[in-house]
Amino acid sequence: MPWNRPLIIGLLVMLLAMTWWRLQSDDGEIRRSRLMMGTVVEIVAGGEDSNKLESAVDAAFAEIARLDMLLSRHQEKSDVTRLSQSDRGSKVAVETAEVITLGLDVAQRSGGAFDLTLGQLKALWGFGLENPTVPDRNTLSAALSGIGPTALSLNGQQVTKQSPHLQVDLGGIAKGYAVDRAIAVLREHGVASAAVNAGGDMYLLGQRPERSWRIGIQHPRQKDTVLETVQVSDQAVVTSGDYERFFERDGIRYHHIFDPQNGLPARGCRSVTIIADSVVLGDALATAVFVLGPKAGLQLLTQYPKAEALIVAADGTLYNSPGWAQYRVAP
Ligand code: AMP
Ligand code: MG
């Protein structure tokens, strides 16, 4: 990750604000945050023994750092970088293979709306750089040629690329996987109550001492306004939004979630929140539904009976899946 000024300032503002992450640490809880995977990762863990909690949280952060070394486009020796630099593909770690397997499944079920092969496109747009640009049509179509879900395949840990210039980007799913693994590490350390949030990809483990986990979902256009509050336990809550990473040119908002059909920011939604059993699935589905738009997105979710969604469409209309209401509570 090129740690440039706008990105760092943005992350620090996020760290200070964290408005939609409306958790207060109670007695018997510790709260720690670090800049990782291009975002702020925050862990809250509860329990009696604070030394035990500290070492559990350290181990969880270490696990996220280890996964970033495998899954990031910005780490020179990561599986993703090696894969992108290879002509025909390469062998990857078991963890990377697991992420790619799930990503390819969502890619196929979403008709290619979710796409792990957009690395070149992402680099072209340059989000997070000092001067992001709107690429012209020819440049976009060149970046889209020879890619797509069928251009990448997996056999065990061996990944094959159809085209040498295909660049893998796991940005729509890797944080979710890392949060799941961080939660697994916390569990292994005997932590029964915890929350991990990597820039909008969260998991809420167990219950809190005095109250349940309540998550305020941010209004995509009013930073300090909570759209809805949900109450969950042992579940993931993941949001993809057009307000997370964007720039404006001539009054048009260009954000970082692309429609693979044309290489432009997807225009159907302002934000999508998914509640699911795992963060990795929630992460992939939030991105996929965002690209598909509210109607086709809700249709995709019928394939995932345990996942629920709250969608803010491009015109501000709210949509939710039939089971969403069970999680909704008064703010
Ligand atoms: P998220 O915040 O999980 O929706 O992920 C957004 C990130 O996913 C972007 O910054 C890109 O790295 C990547 N991405 C963008 N468009 C897509 C897409 N259509 N399918 C999969 N990943 C995408
Ligand atoms: Mg995602």
**5-59 pLDDT tens trace:** 666 666 666 655 543 444 445 568 999 999 999 999 999 999 999 999 999 999 9
For residue 282, which ligand has an atom nearest its CA? 2
Residues in the chain where the model's pLDDT stays below 50: 1-2, 18-24
What atom in ligand 1 is closest to the CA of residue 291? 19
- Ligand 1 proximity of 260 Cβ (cutoff 6 Å): yes
Residue nearest to atom 8 of ligand 1 (CA): 172
Q: What pLDDT, on the 0 to 100 scale, is given for residue 107?
A: 98
> CB within 5 A of ion ligand 2: which residues?
172, 283, 286-287
Q: 192-223, pLDDT tens digit by residue?
A: 999 999 999 999 999 986 778 999 999 999 98
CA 307 – ligand 1 centroid, Å: 19
What atom in ligand 1 is closest to the CA of residue 259? 19
- Ligand 1 proximity of 96 Cβ (cutoff 6 Å): no
- Ligand 1 proximity of 240 Cβ (cutoff 6 Å): yes
Q: What pLDDT, on the 0 to 100 scale, is given for residue 127?
A: 81
3-state secondary structure of 109: helix
Q: Are 190 and 48 in contact (CB under 8 A)?
A: no
Q: What is the pTM of this model?
A: 0.92
- What letter would DSSP give residue 149? G
CA 47 – ligand 2 centroid, Å: 30
H/E element, 158: strand 158-161
